[in-house]
Amino acid sequence: MRDTAPTTTLHIVYLARLREAFGTTQERLALAGGAAPTTVADIVALLRQRGGAYATELGAGRAVRVAVNHTMVTQDAVVRPGDELALFPPVTGG
């Protein structure tokens, strides 16, 4: 019998400059051990650990907004299996 830890799968969408910096529009992110609540801040920190463009674009002082399932949220919002996270820079216009 195999010992398998629960897995949380999230759909992450990158918009605007993030899409270009990361070279992708979206990804599926599997997180093993889904027992503890996962927050937006946890996901952003995990992505930042990849280094390179992720560390630069998601680093301290960089403005990045997050929506979960098309609703704007703060960094302390809880993320659940199957949620969609959209990461994008603030938008201005005239």
Q: What sign for the dihedral angle of Cα 42, 44, 45, 46?
A: positive
Contact between residue 78 and residue 10 where contact means Cβ atoms under 8 Å apart: no
pLDDT in tens, 14-71: 999 999 999 999 999 988 765 566 899 999 999 999 999 999 999 988 999 999 999 9
pTM > 0.75: yes or no: yes
1 located within any domain: no
* Residues 7 and 31: beta-carbon distance below 8 Å: yes
Which distant-in-sequence residues (6+ apart) come within 8 Å of 69 by Cβ?
83, 84
Domain that holds residue 19: 7-88
pLDDT 10s digits, 42-53: 999 999 999 999
Q: Are 38 and 79 in contact (CB under 8 A)?
A: yes
Kindly state whether residue 2 falls inside one of the protein's structural domains: no
Which residue in the block uniquely carries the two structure tokens 């993030």?
18
Where residue 14 sits, what CATH number does that domain have? Answer: 3.10.20.30
* Domain assignment present for 57: yes
Contact 27, 50 (CB under 8 A): no
Place of tokens 């529009």: 25
CA atoms within 13 A on the CB side of 3: 1
Q: How many domains does the chain have?
A: 1
Asked whether residue 21 is domain-assigned, the answer is yes
> Does any domain span residue 69?
yes
